Amino acid sequence: MKSRILKIASAAILPFILILMSLLPVSALLQYGYIISSYDVDVKILKDGTLDITEKVKYSHMGNSNNAVILIDKREDEEVEIINVYTLKKSEYIKCERLSAGQWDANVFTGTYSVVQENDLVRLKIYGSFTNQKATFIVQYKVKNAIKRYKDIAEYKRYHVFRNWEGYISNINIDVRLPKYTQEEDIKPYLHGVLVGQKNVSDRRRISYTIPSTVPGEYVEARIAFPQDMVSDAPVAEDIEYAPILVQEEKEYSESDKSDLLRARENAAKEAGRLAWNEKMKKRTTIFFVVVSLFASYLGVLTIIRTGRELRSGQENESLDLEDIARISPPEAGYLLKGRAGARAFLSGLLNLVYKGKLDIKISHIDGKDHLSFTLSEDAAKDVADHTEKLLLDCVSDFCEKNGSFCPGVFSPKKGASDPVRLAGYWKSWSDSIKHSIMSKNVLNHSQSYYRNLGLILGVILFAAGCIVPVAMSIWSGYLMLPVGMLLFWYSLSIQKRTQYRMTRVRALKKLRKLITGKDFDIGDMPGELSDPMLLLAFGIVLGVENKLLDNVISLNPGRGSQSFTDDDGSCEKTGTLVYKAIMAINDTLVSSME
């Protein structure tokens, strides 16, 4: 049965993890590279052939980068001078500072830019604090010697979008204004690099280009031929008739193979299709995992409820009164209360043996300090003790042989000391024995074991899914599985704390504690064996009320060995301290040894 559950669990967990791992990339942002939603270029051609350009670029996605890159065309003999860069912040344009080598005091994250001159372009990098990967920039710059003046015409020729610029741009508007008015038929605009785009001449000096969009692989090159006398202050580049050459070049371009541009569009369409499909799949996967997360959480809660019901229905009602408490040994009582046998249980076990007459107790003066000390009594017979008690007697016997008595209070967790290690060894065996003794009585039935194992496996799966699913899928509902999984796991893990066997005993022990801490407590009223001060003290230690017993009860009601607890003046105040000291010393020794 258990091996079957294990097989099912491993068969369920492994594919689950593999599926989740494969889903990790799905949660990625589906679009890469820059996306520009609007790109307006305003070019003024001056008489000396200089261009005065203002570009307004609106990024709808910054390509997961913390800076925007704007490429500026720079041809031979041209000089590019950046005048101003602005960034839009809170609906207001803020002027950016130029970051140059050695200028380290500028805050790079509040609107700065750097300029890198490359062979045929200028790379402008703008830094800032951008929200949701959106930003708008205005760049003003001048390009000197940009107009080529020939004998017959002048030529404006610039890349506004580079071929290797791996981004998407929509709504490109380029507006070029000539220095003077002229006949519209003397102005010849050309557009290269895109299959769809319009060019228009208006107002006898304005040339407008409108391109709906570009995709990676496309480019935008504007070329304008206009009368050379319009740039009369510009130097002549070459003293040749350039118009025929230009016409020939344009003819060649128009007749050239534009399959690369078609391919770029096809690729972009495919990419758009892939992105749309990814987006669709992401939505579906998200919905699927939201539903799965909620359902799995519901299933987890349901399992807790069902397990609880199984626990309640599967046990016969058992009652345990105060007089029955003595049937449990004090260390067992400690285990039932805390779920483990620690220092208090250990000391209570020793006192229980004093009560049974197998150990003697007294206050010894060691190294100038008082300590509780235990020795084997004359009538201690190991063969009549049960296994757990025998282990304690072995421990006391061992230390008595070496030191004359067993004084728990003298232990300290010093490195290299052998006594703490020996004590921890005895404690381990004794604690295991107590545990097995309790477990053999506090047994789960078949159905309870099934739900417990189911809860453990489901708890692990839910917890793991609660860690992985919400991160991988970016969904809130996934986090619900985390606490539900943890709760289910803990509930199943500590199921034996909720059995009828334990609950009845814990109830009785709590009743005893309440009785002891009550104002009218009298040991004489205690039923049966509990009226013995030593046994009661043993229970008092595991219940954490030993001081109350020592102060008010035991000194007035001497029983076997209890006279050892009273001082010369009959007070138990110091003894309470000694008991506490012994508990702490044992605890420190055990914790230290375990660590």
Partner 1 sequence: MIEHALWMLTLMALTAIVGFLILKNKPGRWWFVAIAELALICRFIFVFVIYANGTEYSGTDGLLYHQIAKDIAIQLQSGTPLWKVRYEYTWYTVLTGIQYAIFGVNRYAASFVNAFFSVLSGYFLTGTALNLGFSVKKSRLIGIVYLFIPSMIVWTTDTRKESMIFFLIILIWYMTLRVIRQRDWSISRQCLYILTICLLLWLSTLLRIYMLYTFGGGLFICLLFCFLKTKRNMIFVFLSAVLITCCIVSFTTVRHNMRDYHALTMDRSTEGDENLDEEIDSILNTIMSKNIPNSINGFLTKPHLEEVPFIPDIAGNPFAITVVRIEMILWYICMIVSVFGIMYALIKWDPYLLGLLAFIVSYGLINALISENVADTYYRYRAAIVAPLLLFADYRPFFAKIKDLLMTASPDAKSGDNSIML
- Examine residue 261 and tell whether it contacts partner 1 (CB under 8 A): no
Length of the chain in terms of residues written: 595
Task: Kindly indicate which of the ranges 78-86, 127-135, 142-150, 557-565 contains the residues binding partner 1, using the contact rule CB under 8 A.
Answer: 127-135
First CA to last CA across the chain, in angstroms? 36
Which of 39, 130, 156, 411 is in the footprint of partner 1 by CB under 8 A? 130
Question: 305 to 364, contacts with partner 1 by CB under 8 A?
Answer: 338-340, 342-344
Shortest Cβ distance from residue 162 to partner 1 (Å)? 15
- Examine residue 240 and tell whether it contacts partner 1 (CB under 8 A): no
- Examine residue 592 and tell whether it contacts partner 1 (CB under 8 A): yes
Nearest to 39 by CA among 29, 53, 28: 53
Helix axes 343-355, 387-403, angle to 10 degrees: 90
- Examine residue 11 and tell whether it contacts partner 1 (CB under 8 A): no
Question: 144 to 163, contacts with partner 1 by CB under 8 A?
Answer: none
Shortest Cβ distance from residue 465 to partner 1 (Å)? 9
Residue closer to partner 1 (CB basis): 243 or 487: 487
Residue closer to partner 1 (CB basis): 5 or 294: 5
Question: 439 to 458, contacts with partner 1 by CB under 8 A?
Answer: 439-440, 442-443, 453, 456-457
- Examine residue 595 and tell whether it contacts partner 1 (CB under 8 A): yes
Question: 50 to 79, contacts with partner 1 by CB under 8 A?
Answer: 63-66
- Examine residue 133 and tell whether it contacts partner 1 (CB under 8 A): yes
- Examine residue 17 and tell whether it contacts partner 1 (CB under 8 A): yes
- Which helix (H) or strand (E) segment is 222 a member of? strand 220-227
Structure tokens at 441: 């009585």
The answer to whether the CB of 350 falls within 8 A of the CB of 359 is yes
Shortest Cβ distance from residue 477 to partner 1 (Å)? 9
- Examine residue 20 and tell whether it contacts partner 1 (CB under 8 A): yes
The answer to whether the CB of 169 falls within 8 A of the CB of 161 is yes
Query: 76 phi and psi, to 5 degrees?
Result: -55, 140
Which of 11, 14, 19, 29 is in the footprint of partner 1 by CB under 8 A? 29
Q: For the purposes of burial, counting CB atoms within 10 Å of the CB of 438, is it exposed (0-12), middle (13-18) or buried (19 or more)?
A: buried
Residue closer to partner 1 (CB basis): 483 or 558: 483
Task: Kindly indicate which of the ranges 170-178, 267-275, 461-469, 524-532 contains the residues binding partner 1, using the contact rule CB under 8 A.
Answer: 461-469
Task: Kindly indicate which of the ranges 25-33, 180-188, 256-264, 296-304 contains the residues binding partner 1, using the contact rule CB under 8 A.
Answer: 25-33
Q: What is the 3-state secondary structure (H, E, C) of 423-459?
A: HHHHHHHHHHHHHHHHHHHCCCCHHHHHHHHHHHHHH
Residue closer to partner 1 (CB basis): 333 or 530: 333
> What is the rounded CA–CA span in Å between residue 40 and residue 50?
19
Shortest Cβ distance from residue 170 to partner 1 (Å)? 20
Task: Kindly indicate which of the ranges 24-32, 195-203, 220-228, 288-296 contains the residues binding partner 1, using the contact rule CB under 8 A.
Answer: 24-32
Which of 274, 306, 414, 510 is in the footprint of partner 1 by CB under 8 A? 414
Cα–chain center distance at 115: 39
Shortest Cβ distance from residue 102 to partner 1 (Å)? 6
Nearest to 89 by CA among 72, 112, 106, 71: 112
Question: 190 to 209, contacts with partner 1 by CB under 8 A?
Answer: none
Task: Kindly indicate which of the ranges 47-55, 189-197, 402-410, 492-500 contains the residues binding partner 1, using the contact rule CB under 8 A.
Answer: 492-500
The answer to whether the CB of 87 falls within 8 A of the CB of 128 is yes
DSSP for residue 560: T
Nearest to 430 by CA among 536, 332, 541: 332
Q: How many residues bind partner 1 (CB under 8 A)?
A: 78
Q: What is the 3-state secondary structure (H, E, C) of 347-411?
A: HHHHHHHHHCCCEEEEEEEECCEEEEEEEECCCCCHHHCCHHHHHHHHHHHHHHHHHCCECHHHC
Residue closer to partner 1 (CB basis): 111 or 179: 111
Question: 90 to 119, contacts with partner 1 by CB under 8 A?
Answer: 101-102, 104-105, 107-110
Find residue 503's DSSP bridge partners.
none
Nearest to 411 by CA among 426, 422, 400: 422
Which of 82, 471, 503, 506 is in the footprint of partner 1 by CB under 8 A? 471
> What is the rounded CA–CA span in Å between residue 443 and residue 562?
37
